[in-house]
Structure 1
Amino acid sequence: MNHVKGPLLEIDAGDREATTVGVTEERRSFVGGRGLCTKLAHDRIPYDADPLGPNNRIYFASGPLQQSGMSFTGRMNCTGLSPLTDGLLSTNAGGYLSRNFVDTGHSAVEVVGAADELLVIHVTDEGVEFVEAPELRGATVPEVTAYVQRERNLDAENVVCIGPAGENQVRFACVMTYESRAFGRGGMGAVLGSKNVKAITFEGDAAPDPDLPEDVQREVHSAAATSDDLMRRQGTTGGTEFINDNFSLPTRYFEKYSFEHADAIGGDAVEEKKYRKGSCSVCAFACKLPTRDEATGLETEGPEFETVFSFGSNCEIGDIVDVMKSNELCDVYGLDTISCGNVVAAYLASKDEFGNAELVHETVEKIATREGVGDLLAEGISRAADELGVRNYTVKDMEFAAHDGRVLHGQGLSYAVANRGGDHMYSTTLRVEYAGEVDPETLDGKPELVVRRENHAAIRDSGIVCAFAGGTDHVTEETLEALFECDYEDLQEVGARIVELERHFNNKRGMDREADTLPYDLPGIEDALDEYYALRGWNTDGTVSDDLVGEYAAADD
């Protein structure tokens, strides 16, 4: 089985030391990306660590596909103990970072400890340099990029950084790269902030030679370049009106199922503001959304569908420019647009101020700086709901994505069991329900579907291949078999190991079946949980046995 190459680079921010560690067996058994990082985090982060303490560790990793020149591979993984969910969590980002990371020659980079001064860390194929940068205190993401360009002659594509939200340890702060691409969910930006690390740069000339079939790479790249998929023009917003009209676009903080102004913030509205093509590293699909409003001069990248939901329909904002402004503020300050938009919607509900775009933008800024009510909202909905007097629309303390489990029951089950909580990308069961391949309003057959799709997503995030490649059928199960040189069922087994390690770690932090709950009733959910656990070979209380996880130490390729 093909897997990522190179050692682990361990960086201690407190001691300002860096060492390389061999991780050959981990790479062979867990491929790279999310899989490799999950294995390392499971084994190296103490079960009782404080997510915002020095013993938490944050990991960055590429996968074997980042050694290629294939479309849909311009992505990176980030893993750590989440300050939002209090569990092990992985998130990934696109952009242009991945090839620069691979050029350092490392399969993964780990940051532990906490610095006594604000640091910028430079990682190259020749070593690591620690630079104190107190002048960056409070700097926005574009200001950090400008600093790195000025001081190091490196571009935005070499940088991961945090904005003020990360420094202020907002629980849903992002790690940002290329200014507008986010390691979005779960608060990894707050983890870097707790370590007093403002930015990390990657550069070098030590990329390993790719060991991937060239004919498959060419086929995928050609398909991406010639596709006429709507997503190439409108990104994920292309389905906004379809979802609103036929399923549910949560509105007014989940009070309503549809938004009367969906067309004003949907795919056509976004495409009207798009002024050029945008892409990730070496990807010919080019589905990103550089947008500009000529009247105001506002420029941003996006918004994508999740932001259209969180800052649009859920806040009852029906002007695409207002949503673009919210999107840009989140990028500048380093905030997850899904969690932040939902938190703002909860605040609007508490004040009966739906539709107040000016208040939305003011509140985003207050969250990033923890000013006034922003200090409460920076904790996330779960920790603020009682004081706000609103319903807690989260799973495992993570705010929901747009795809409504009340009408997509398989997606609802996925939210309940996902180790990340209310995250749509953990299984993307929503896709087959939207497509009509299965009846959306039943849980019959859904546990097996969720298991298979969770496993698939785990290996996708370990490869690493963009989720849109599978959603547009450019990277199929057969393509993955060819790329990884193994049977697809073997990949399913790797995915299962990744999911189980995440679950085992979270079990050790006290999470079990009681955490696999939804804030609304879903008929048959308890029976579906029983079936899901049985299919995975877990205990009926949602826990993974130590013996099962112990077997992974001996796993090989």
Structure 2
Amino acid sequence: MKGNTGKILHLDLTEEKFAVEKPTEYFYRKYFGGACMGVWYVMNQVPAKTDPLGPENVLAFTISPITGAPVSGNARHCVTTKSPQTGTIAHSEAGGFWGPELKFAGFDGIVITGKASRPVYLWIHDGEYELRDASAIWGKTTGDSQDFIREDIQDNKARVCLIGPGGEKQIRFAGIVNELKHFNGRNGMGAVMGSKNLKAVVVRGSAKPDYHDRQVIKDMAGEAARIVKEDEFYNNFRRCGTTLNVEWGTPAGGLPTRNWTQGTFEEQEALKGERYADEMMDSPGTCFACVQNCKRDVKGGITSPVAIDPRFGGPEYETVGMCGSNLGLGDFKEIAAINQLASMYAVDSISLGGVLGFAAQCFEEGVLTSDQLGGTEPRFGDFDNLYRLAEMVVKREGPGDILAEGTARAAEHWGPEALKRAVHVKNKEFPAHMPHIKGSLALSYAVNPFGPDHVAVEHDPAIASTPVGERLQGLGFYDSEDPVSLNQEKAKLTAYSQRWCGAIDSVSTCSFIFNTWSMFGFEELISLIKAVTGWNYSMNEFLLLGERKLNMMRAFNIREGFTEKDDMLPDRLFETGLNDNGPSAGRVVNKEDFLKAREYYYGICGWDPLSGVPSEYKLVELGLDWALKYILNAS
């Protein structure tokens, strides 16, 4: 089987037993890898109403046939589980080097269940596997833990995917990190790993995949290098990385500020990518075989307000938004300090910024007192108090133990006035992209199977140009739309782009390299899949892959008790306008437009327009007739 190893490793931590599965080529072609394959394993192995932090939950690490192909963008891996943050099925992707190394070590995925009797880590090397004791590093931060593991196995080049104390303490938004700076950040994957007493999954291998047409792969790699060298946009992206989003979002009033009460930050000029590159960056970091080099590596020697260890990398845009402007902070060094804290304890910096912003608004408006917040006085712009509270969160100390449950649960604990200030969907904090100025994004935050996610859909500006870009015309979008509008066309954008973004996650590639707006489009991605696998793969198969994933997740969530009532934005987005003087001042999401668009979205997906339940016809069309029982049992 070209591109794949043909093997999935299964591990029952309770029994400490391994098994190797060899799926059929038909299974690989239907579910491919990445998110779609991970969702299949979680759906078929997790019993109904399972506690996400219980031993019966499944944690699936998956890659795809093109993972590790020496072309920019093919370094990602996916982790899938029932989320302790949302209660839904969820997946989270990460770049780096771990995914390709798993393939080189002999496997296309790892499916883990049970709970170890003691802290352990999994060591996989050239087709062999074993559990090793991790008691000495339980409670240690990620950097110290990675150092210990590499010393323990006597291999400094082993790729280490691990949790920090955040996952051990089962913080609802704990993540998993590899190489200390590449994160499966969202949806609480680290909490599930911690609940299983699993500290790390470590991989090392020397096997090289067999490819159908190496020349196509080589030519594409060369073209990527040429584009990065000659194209001004990609040169700039290499220099500034995702922090360019500050430049792109500010003209429209799209920078989340002071817990989503504003869209314009008075210090936003200080947060732009060029400023970061000049003041903070040592060199651009990268992932396996990628010439884009969009990761942020910080300089050594930064000692104030805290000492920064360059090993943990620097803040990406999401952290700049959620731990910067969202907290009223305009100093990159302060943002880098919070980013490093999140990396050391392995928690999601998006949700960390969300809970801190929520606490600051509650304190400033008299909803919470200093006594309730452990003696801190977290005000927007007050780094010292915000950082002290952040330390309490990642350590689950005092009020940090409440905030570690996430904004929604903390607000429920503190009462009705706190609930009014909580910004979340399905108990998950928003990423740093404002739904007030992007209609389709607002809809997607509500209907996405695992809550708000900024890479689950195409963003509205993609169809704002005149004419609409050629790649998007090829996907069925011809007429320009105002980014703010929320109508039938935006419902279609949400539904259609969930398919292609879901497919991107299922082939485990990077949307910065392959997408409607990226270096390569989907035609090139299909060519790469053909070159790797030898399959006569088509664009139709690619889109069906994403649609299959979406419908499996919808069926799982219905079984778990989720309904259309959970596909809803917070009331404050409908009722309370942004209170600044910027371009988005006064902006709200129109609730009537939202509800009508949601109805159209359900219908376009082939679901009941009112309940959002997938039809039997849609599941049969996608080869998911086996998933009907999830819906029938729920009803």
> What TM-score does the superposition give when structure 2 sets the normalisation length?
0.84
Q: Give 5+ residue unaligned stretches, structure 2.
A: 365-378, 469-480, 531-536, 575-588, 627-635
| Aligned-pair CA distance for 1:492 | 0.9
Could you report, residue by residue, the CA deviation over 1:203-237 in whole angstroms, capped at 9, with x for unpaired residues? 23344313356325522443244243221111111
Give the corresponding residue for 1:17.
Answer: 17
1:218 corresponds to: 219
CA displacement at 1:434 relative to structure 2: 7.2
1:449 is paired with a residue whose SS is helix
Matches within 5 A, 1:419-498: 419-430=449-460, 432=462, 437=468, 438-444=481-487, 445-470=489-514, 472-485=517-530, 486-498=537-549
Q: 1:80 to 1:431 in 2, by over 3 A?
A: farther
- State the partner residue of 2:357: 345
In 2, the alpha carbon distance for the partners of 1:366 and 1:552 equals 48
**Aligned 1:43-58 pairs, distance under 5 A:** 43-58=44-59
Distance in 2 between residues matched to 1:381 and 1:473, nearest whole Å: 34
The answer for the alignment partner of 2:580 in structure 1 is none
Mapped contact 1:213–1:483 kept (Cα < 8 A): no
Q: CA 1:143 to 1:243, structure 2 compared with 1: closer, same or farther past 3 Å?
A: same
Quick one: which of 277, 284, 287 aligns to 2:291? 284
Letter in 2 for 1:341: G
Secondary structure of 2:523's match? helix
d(CA) in 1 for partners of 2:393 and 2:192? 17
**How far apart are the structure 1 equivalents of 2:158 and 2:345?**
18
Equivalents in 1 of 2:390, 2:407: separation in Å?
14
Moved more, 250-259 or 222-231: 222-231
| Counterpart-to-counterpart distance in 1, 2:348 and 2:623 | 33
- Letter of the structure 2 residue corresponding to residue 531 of structure 1: Y
Shift of 1:447: 1.2
380, 395, 401: which one aligns with 2:406: 380
SS of 2:41's equivalent?
A: helix
Whole-angstrom distance in 1 between the partners of 2:213 and 2:486: 39
CA deviation string 1:373-408 (max 9, x = no partner): 110000001111244525221111111011111111
- State the partner residue of 2:474: none
Contact 2:150 2:158 survives alignment (8 Å): no
- 1:22 Cα shift? 2.7
C-alpha distance in structure 1 between counterparts of 2:300 and 2:484, whole Å: 39
Structure 1 residue 263 corresponds to structure 2 residue 289: no
Offset at residue 75 of structure 1 (A): 1.1
Looking at structure 1, the residues matched to 558 and 157 of structure 2 have their Cα atoms a distance apart, in angstroms, of: 38
Q: Please report how far the alpha carbon of residue 552 of structure 1 lies from its aligned counterpart in structure 2 after TM superposition.
A: 2.5
Shift of the 461–284 alpha-carbon distance from structure 1 to 2, 3 Å rule, reads same
Q: Secondary structure at the match of 1:426?
A: coil
Q: CA deviation at 1:124?
A: 2.7
- Aligned residue in 2 for 1:515: 566
Distance in 1 of aligned mates of 2:189 and 2:215: 35
Cα distance 1:348–1:460, how it changes in 2: closer, same or farther (>3 A)?
Answer: same
- Matches of 1:295 and 1:53, distance apart in 2: 41
Aligned counterpart in structure 1 of residue 446 of structure 2, from 416, 421, 445: 416
CA distance in 2, matches of 1:546, 1:136: 49
Indicate the SS of the match to 1:11: strand
SS of residue paired to 1:443: coil
Could you tell me which of 315, 332, 356 is aligned with 2:344?
332
Shift of 1:153: 2.2
Deviation at 1:542, TM superposition (A): 1.3
Name the SS for the 1:277 alignment partner: strand
Task: State the distance in 2 between where 1:60 and 1:295 align.
Answer: 35
Structure 1 contact 221–283 (Cα < 8 Å) conserved: no
Equivalent pair of 1:67/1:210 in contact (CA under 8 Å)? no
Q: Is 1:252 aligned with 2:323?
A: no
From 381, 384, 393, the counterpart of 1:358: 384
User: Displacement of 1:14 after TM fit?
Assistant: 1.2
Which secondary structure does the structure 1 equivalent of 2:66 belong to? helix
Give the C-alpha shift of residue 548 in structure 1.
4.5
2:611 to 541, 545, 553: 541
For residue 179 of structure 2, what is the aligned residue in structure 1? Answer: 178
Shift of 1:484: 2.7
Tell me whether 1:305 sits opposite 2:305 in the alignment: no
Structure 1, unpaired ranges of 5+: none
Q: Deviations 1:276-312 (Å, cap 9, x if unpaired)?
A: 1211011011111101264525234221111011010
- Structure 1 residues 149 and 435: alpha-carbon distance in aligned structure 2, compared to 1, 3 A threshold: farther
Q: CA deviation at 1:431?
A: 5.0
**Using the alignment, how far apart are the partners of 1:217 and 1:495 within structure 2?**
27
SS at match of 2:96: coil
The 3-state SS of whatever aligns with 2:283 is coil
How many angstroms apart in 2 are the aligned matches of 1:38 and 1:260? 43
The one-letter amino acid paired with 2:16 is: R
SS in 1 for 2:70: coil
1:428-453 Cα offsets, whole Å, 9 max, x none, are 32451676753111122011111121
Paired AA for residue 498 in structure 1: K
Count of residues paired in the alignment: 555
SS at match of 2:192: helix
Distance 1:554 1:506, change over 3 A: closer
Kept after mapping to 2: 8 A contact 1:176/1:183:
yes
C-alpha spacing 1:470/1:459, structure 2 compared with 1 (3 Å): same
Residues 409 and 162 of structure 1, relative CA distance in 2, 3 Å threshold: same
Shift of the 197–395 alpha-carbon distance from structure 1 to 2, 3 Å rule, reads same
CA distance 1:132–1:86, change in 2 (3 Å): same
The 5-angstrom pairing of residues 14-93 of structure 1 reads 14-24=14-24, 25-93=26-94
Q: Rate the CA distance shift 1:295–1:484 in 2: closer, same or farther, 3 A.
A: closer
Is 1:234–1:267's contact at 8 Å kept on the other side of the alignment? yes
Alpha-carbon shift at residue 489 of structure 1 (Å): 2.2
Q: Give the corresponding residue for 2:478.
A: none
Instruction: Verify the 8 A CA contact 1:4 1:32 in the aligned structure 2.
Output: no
What is aligned with 1:232?
238
Structure 1 pair 213/177, CA: closer, same or farther in 2 (3 Å)?
Answer: same
Counterpart AA for 1:530: E
Distance 1:406 1:156 in 2: 45
